Chain A
């Protein structure tokens, strides 16, 4: 397997990410997971939409498609069906996946096509300067919610699990080992797999919410996460304090949300040929 400096395009560095951005940690975890899963880089396509995290595929020395806002999964669907021998990995953000691309996301989960989707959830629109996203926690200040967010965030992982994805996990950038393991599991799983990473945007989320120090922000993510295993399920699954929410009483719920083995899309066509290395 190639070293990390051959995995990424050296001729494009320095990268464009802000100091303290969580993308660097995630890029390292992605490389480790890719190496652990022993995927063939020449048989892998990285697909993204628009946003900060969607710039990651452009730095990987592989075939990559930097597509339009919200549509990464739809492009990936075409690539996978065009050549099922390819591993198709989507890297996207909370705005790209949860807001403008929400419909493609839930339908891809339902379809259970063999794709791996990694969502970098920094709770905000970073590239356009810190606007509220569909994953911005309740009460958080952004440039479009100057008095605090009165809307409730999507729990993208709960959404994926209930829409039928085969594998769903959420970690923060403070949990690199577990995150790496989950990304590897996502690569190896048949059907649709989804890993949500709660990331940091000290430039916007942090600055506007009293955490502009990147280290402080990662510490906040770590201190405020709560394992799914330690949670008690409420009697009413639709109650406002559903533990599957992104943040419940100030805590980010982390863990493996779903690990199922529903027949994947490709297992049902082509005489069960799963395609790729998955």
Chain B
């Protein structure tokens, strides 16, 4: 069954969360993400879920991690300043392998910056914001429809890999209204749980199946599990001075994402075989789409999953192009990652067209830049 609606990106995120089975939301108001909080406050009681407005963003993410440990699918939404406050507990969710979904509707920064206008300044913060080695899944929608679709996808990935998943939206996507098709009865991923009763190795690696994601112990199911953010052994007990324990744990929580990159990473490719390739994601990709629709000699790689980085897809395209144009609404955050892999594939010319301050890329200025690249 498909329902048609006219929603902003933020509203579509909330609808997507409900469709994905999210039944607990904790948050704190912040522009430009507040509509998600407001919509969840209205929607959750209608489906038997719970909503709470917490005292700050640190408490919001703590509450959704706590609720997730009781087996619920949970989400919070914020923007830059609130996202900064959440960093420590993102690490806690990674370390304790607790599935959660965090929506960051980006605004201009640093600090309070530009609350009402768009930016892509948090790309590297989503990757390395919390301290310590880790891996993470981040997705960047470019339409209201994708806000709906990727939110469902985010819950599925979080449940499947027992990890936090971040939806990196921005003020432009969040506040733009578009037609959204709400499809009921999507395939949802269920968290694999331990059976009721004692569990010997709740944080174990299954050497037989080579399964990197252990089943989830749900609080109140007689599993009697100790969950800690300290380095822990497979029993779940703190073992902070044993280098082997840290190495095994860290490698597993990184590998469970990095080794499944081909299943996680989503990209969109237009005009493969063109000499010039645009690489972009989020809001600027809408302008880039206009360009490649009208110019068959320009290719486009749109990153839907930002992290883990789609290096294979990029290298496959980069080895056959003369030059690459990177579009971002920041001073070059993904640029270095794109350069690294494009150079490895043999493409040496990488140009950059940044936009900061809230202005969007115009298709015409992208075309001008490409003409300039062709001319020299």
Provide the B212-231 mask, 1 if CB < 8 A to any CB of A, else 0.
00000101101111111110
| A63→B70 CA distance, assembly (Å) | 11
B40 interface hit (Cβ, 8 Å)? no
A71 interface hit (Cβ, 8 Å)? yes
Provide the B16-60 mask, 1 if CB < 8 A to any CB of A, else 0.
000000001010000000000000000000000010101110111
| A115→B228 CA distance, assembly (Å) | 20
| B68 lies within 8 A of A75 (CB) | no
Task: Identify the closest chain B residue to A100 (Cβ).
Answer: B58
Determine the chain B residues whose CB is within 8 A of the CB of A66 once the complex forms.
226-230, 238
Determine the chain B residues whose CB is within 8 A of the CB of A75 once the complex forms.
62-63, 65-66
Q: A65-B66, A67-B62, A77-B59 are in contact. Are A82 and B229 (CB under 8 A)?
A: no
Determine the chain A residues whose CB is within 8 A of the CB of B92 once the complex forms.
67-68
| B24 lies within 8 A of A82 (CB) | yes
Instruction: Pick the residue among A58, A68, A78, A79 that contacts B226 (CB under 8 A).
Output: A58
| A71 lies within 8 A of B59 (CB) | yes
| A82 lies within 8 A of B66 (CB) | yes
A208 interface hit (Cβ, 8 Å)? no
Determine the chain A residues whose CB is within 8 A of the CB of B332 once the complex forms.
none
| A232→B2 CA distance, assembly (Å) | 70
B211 interface hit (Cβ, 8 Å)? no
Q: A65-B69, A85-B220 are in contact. Are A78 and B227 (CB under 8 A)?
A: no
B72 interface hit (Cβ, 8 Å)? yes
Task: Give the distance to chain B from A34, nearest Cβ to Cβ, in Å.
Answer: 15
| A76→B229 CA distance, assembly (Å) | 15
| B54 lies within 8 A of A81 (CB) | no
Tell me which residues from 9 to 34 in chain A have a Cβ below 8 Å from any Cβ of chain B.
9, 12
| A81 lies within 8 A of B55 (CB) | no
| A63 lies within 8 A of B67 (CB) | no
Determine the chain A residues whose CB is within 8 A of the CB of B55 once the complex forms.
103-104, 107
A227 interface hit (Cβ, 8 Å)? no
A261 interface hit (Cβ, 8 Å)? no
A242 interface hit (Cβ, 8 Å)? no
Task: Identify the closest chain B residue to A54 (Cβ).
Answer: B228
| A43 lies within 8 A of B226 (CB) | no
Determine the chain A residues whose CB is within 8 A of the CB of B226 once the complex forms.
9, 57-58, 63-64, 66
Of the listed residues B24, B55, B67, B222, the one surrounded by the most CB atoms of chain A closer than 10 A to its CB is B55
| A171→B88 CA distance, assembly (Å) | 34
Task: Identify the closest chain B residue to A85 (Cβ).
Answer: B220
| A71 lies within 8 A of B237 (CB) | no
Q: A71-B59, A83-B71 are in contact. Are A78 and B228 (CB under 8 A)?
A: no
| A43→B221 CA distance, assembly (Å) | 8
Instruction: Pick the residue among A63, A76, A80, A81 that contacts B224 (CB under 8 A).
Output: A63
| A107→B59 CA distance, assembly (Å) | 10
A135 interface hit (Cβ, 8 Å)? no
| A76→B219 CA distance, assembly (Å) | 12
| A103→B230 CA distance, assembly (Å) | 24
| A64 lies within 8 A of B227 (CB) | yes
| A61→B236 CA distance, assembly (Å) | 12
Determine the chain B residues whose CB is within 8 A of the CB of A39 once the complex forms.
none
Provide the A28-59 mask, 1 if CB < 8 A to any CB of B, else 0.
00000000000000110101000000000110
| B63 lies within 8 A of A78 (CB) | yes
B89 interface hit (Cβ, 8 Å)? yes
Which range holds the interface residue count of chain A?
A: 20 to 34
| A86 lies within 8 A of B54 (CB) | no
| A86→B50 CA distance, assembly (Å) | 16
B126 interface hit (Cβ, 8 Å)? no
| A83 lies within 8 A of B70 (CB) | yes
B74 interface hit (Cβ, 8 Å)? yes
A74 interface hit (Cβ, 8 Å)? yes
Determine the chain B residues whose CB is within 8 A of the CB of A64 once the complex forms.
225-227
A248 interface hit (Cβ, 8 Å)? no
| B56 lies within 8 A of A12 (CB) | no
Determine the chain B residues whose CB is within 8 A of the CB of A85 once the complex forms.
220
| A63 lies within 8 A of B89 (CB) | no
Task: Give the distance to chain A from B77, nearest Cβ to Cβ, in Å.
Answer: 15
Instruction: Pick the residue among B63, B69, B88, B223 that contacts A68 (CB under 8 A).
Output: B88
| A81→B74 CA distance, assembly (Å) | 11
| A85→B60 CA distance, assembly (Å) | 21
| A81 lies within 8 A of B59 (CB) | no
Of the listed residues A61, A79, A82, A85, the one surrounded by the most CB atoms of chain B closer than 10 A to its CB is A82
Task: Identify the closest chain B residue to A86 (Cβ).
Answer: B220
| A71 lies within 8 A of B89 (CB) | yes
Determine the chain B residues whose CB is within 8 A of the CB of A79 once the complex forms.
66-67, 69-70, 219
| A61→B223 CA distance, assembly (Å) | 10
A62 interface hit (Cβ, 8 Å)? yes
| A76→B55 CA distance, assembly (Å) | 14
| B58 lies within 8 A of A78 (CB) | no
Determine the chain B residues whose CB is within 8 A of the CB of A61 once the complex forms.
224
| B228 lies within 8 A of A83 (CB) | no
| A68 lies within 8 A of B230 (CB) | no
Task: Give the distance to chain A from B53, nearest Cβ to Cβ, in Å.
Answer: 10
| A58 lies within 8 A of B237 (CB) | yes
Determine the chain B residues whose CB is within 8 A of the CB of A107 once the complex forms.
54-55, 59
| B62 lies within 8 A of A82 (CB) | no
B64 interface hit (Cβ, 8 Å)? yes
| A157→B69 CA distance, assembly (Å) | 30
Determine the chain B residues whose CB is within 8 A of the CB of A47 once the complex forms.
66
Determine the chain A residues whose CB is within 8 A of the CB of B237 once the complex forms.
12, 58
Of the listed residues A57, A65, A68, A78, the one surrounded by the most CB atoms of chain B closer than 10 A to its CB is A78
Q: List residues of B whose CB falls within 8 A of some A CB.
A: 24, 26, 50, 52, 54-56, 58-60, 62-72, 74, 88-89, 92, 217, 219-220, 222-230, 237-238
Given A68-B62, A78-B69, 10 other A-B residues pairs in contact with their CB atoms under 8 A: A45-B220, A58-B237, A71-B59, A75-B63, A77-B63, A78-B26, A82-B66, A82-B69, A82-B72, A107-B59
9 A-B pairs with CB atoms under 8 Å apart are A12-B237, A67-B92, A68-B229, A74-B59, A75-B63, A82-B71, A103-B55, A104-B59, A269-B50
